[in-house]
Amino acid sequence: MKKAIIVFLLCALLSILLGYMERKNPLLSEEGTLFRRESGQGDYETELMLKIEGIETESPFVVTVPQQRLTKEEEEALLEAAVIELNQLFPGENESIQRIQNRVKIQTNYKEGAVQAEWEFSNPWLIDEDGTIREEQLAQDGEQVMARVLLTCEDSSFIHEFYFIVYKQKRTEEERIYEEITGCILEEGMAEGTEKLLLPKEVEGHKLVWSEKKSDIPLQILFLGALAAVLFPAVERQKEREKQKEREEELLREYPEMVNKLSLLLGAGMTLYLAWKKITEMYLNARKAGKIKQMAVYEEMLLARREIESGKGEIKAYAAFGERCGIQKYRKLSNYLIQNLKKGNSGMQAVLEREASEVFEERKGLAKRYSEEAGTKLLLPMLLMLGIVIFIIMVPAVLSFQSGL
């Protein structure tokens, strides 16, 4: 209930916050006006509620809000500013517009979208649409290119023309050698009637030595094997610890019921061995019938019974039972049973009844601890659900807010 109330309060707080934001930043003013975006930012649609006089029902109405219109002077000023921006951005990483060797920057709009641009080059085969230079089409001593850009701002337009020279990129000696090697291999590959490709042994006075690249896979497999060999025992030990922990928790859960059964049977007049045998027989019958699964404490009791039947002796069998369980409660119980055998049945039932009462209270505390752990485990899914709820609420609100701008 506490967690449910917390989630509800968070959602209520979020709802109040969104309502406050809507009231603080309304799309529709009291005068009946809507905010228009600046030129270049585009039109937007918003849904309003419309009530017509004489008609009682109020219905939604979608209004398309066009962007702001510029004056002639504003359009011409934006075109001039777009030319300056174009000249600054076009060279990209090149040193200047007079020596273009790398990719140039070609944009379709400037001044934050207010001015549109259409490009045209005198040598279109030299430059791709993204500004990449095609060096295979380029002359060795460079080539001059004229760019014609049609700039448009609403009803105004302007043609901007400029020239630039494109050169091949400078290559290092290593790059030239690699290009020469690639050319030799391509040329050799064009030969007809040969089953083998002859690799070049010398290029521009440099001897070439070829060798196969050794695979790293064997070393990687060896490393993974060594890593697995190191981690496997640790993983196995961790699994064993987890199994041991689960077994101990199971023994603690089953302890109150087992003590209670033993106390009732002893109170009915049975001897300790007969009560022990009766409990194990009931367990075996129920397990064979498929009513219950295998349970650790009764398996240990069954083993102790078989040890007694094989002639080990009750005292040793009960002592071994407590040690195998490995929990203080079972060791204490085995001591009670051994004392009972040595001193007789007097007082044994009272001891077991008191023990059953104590472990019953402990069982309630254990159940409470398990419930708290379960609640902690559910905390993460609850937070994820809260995140989904916040997302579902926030996204339409944010989109509506942005569409209003």
| CA 155/CA 69 separation, integer angstroms | 10
User: To the nearest whole percent, how much of the chain has pLDDT over 70?
Assistant: 83
The whole-number pLDDT of residue 344 equals 65
- Which pair of tokens denotes residue 135? 């060096």
| CA 252/CA 366 separation, integer angstroms | 9
The whole-number pLDDT of residue 174 equals 76
| CA 373/CA 369 separation, integer angstroms | 6
Residue 150 reports pLDDT greater than 90: yes
- CB atoms < 10 A from the CB of 151, how many? 22
Ramachandran category for residue 159: left, alpha or beta (phi over 0 → left; psi -120 to 50 → alpha): beta
Q: In which residue are the tokens 């807010």 written?
A: 401
Residue 374 reports pLDDT greater than 70: no
In the chain, the amino acid numbered 274 is L
pTM above threshold 0.75? no
Residue 170 reports pLDDT greater than 80: no
| CA 212/CA 121 separation, integer angstroms | 47
Q: What is the mean pLDDT of the chain?
A: 79
89-101: average pLDDT: 84
Per-residue pLDDT tens digits for 218-243: 777 777 777 777 777 888 888 888 88
Per-residue pLDDT tens digits for 335-358: 888 887 777 655 666 777 777 777
* Residues recorded for the chain: 405
145-149: average pLDDT: 90
Locate the domains of the chain by residue range: 2-18+34-65, 72-166, 245-378
The whole-number pLDDT of residue 71 equals 82
The whole-number pLDDT of residue 384 equals 81
The whole-number pLDDT of residue 258 equals 86
Residue 24 reports pLDDT greater than 60: no
| CA 73/CA 170 separation, integer angstroms | 46
**Residues contacting 326, CB < 8 A, separation 6+:** 248
Contact, 50 vs 58, CB < 8 A?
yes
Residue 371 reports pLDDT greater than 60: yes
| CA 243/CA 251 separation, integer angstroms | 12
The span from the first CA to the last CA of the chain, in angstroms, equals 41
The whole-number pLDDT of residue 199 equals 79
- Which pair of tokens denotes residue 379? 């905390």
Q: In which residue are the tokens 């001039």 written?
A: 80
Confidence of residue 208 (pLDDT cuts 50, 70, 90): confident
Contact, 87 vs 160, CB < 8 A?
no
User: To the nearest whole percent, how much of the chain has pLDDT over 90?
Assistant: 6
- CB atoms < 10 A from the CB of 17, how many? 13
Residue 183 reports pLDDT greater than 90: no
Residue 124 vs residues 39, 96, 128, 232: alpha-carbon distances, Å = 32, 20, 7, 64
34-42: average pLDDT: 69
- Which pair of tokens denotes residue 279? 């409990």
281-299: average pLDDT: 88
The whole-number pLDDT of residue 401 equals 62
**Residues contacting 184, CB < 8 A, separation 6+:** 200, 203
The whole-number pLDDT of residue 367 equals 67
The whole-number pLDDT of residue 190 equals 74
The whole-number pLDDT of residue 194 equals 73
The whole-number pLDDT of residue 148 equals 92
Confidence of residue 402 (pLDDT cuts 50, 70, 90): low
Lowest mean pLDDT among 73-87, 246-260, 270-284, 385-399: 385-399
The whole-number pLDDT of residue 40 equals 62
- Which pair of tokens denotes residue 386? 């809260």
- Which pair of tokens denotes residue 117? 């641009």
Confidence of residue 118 (pLDDT cuts 50, 70, 90): very high
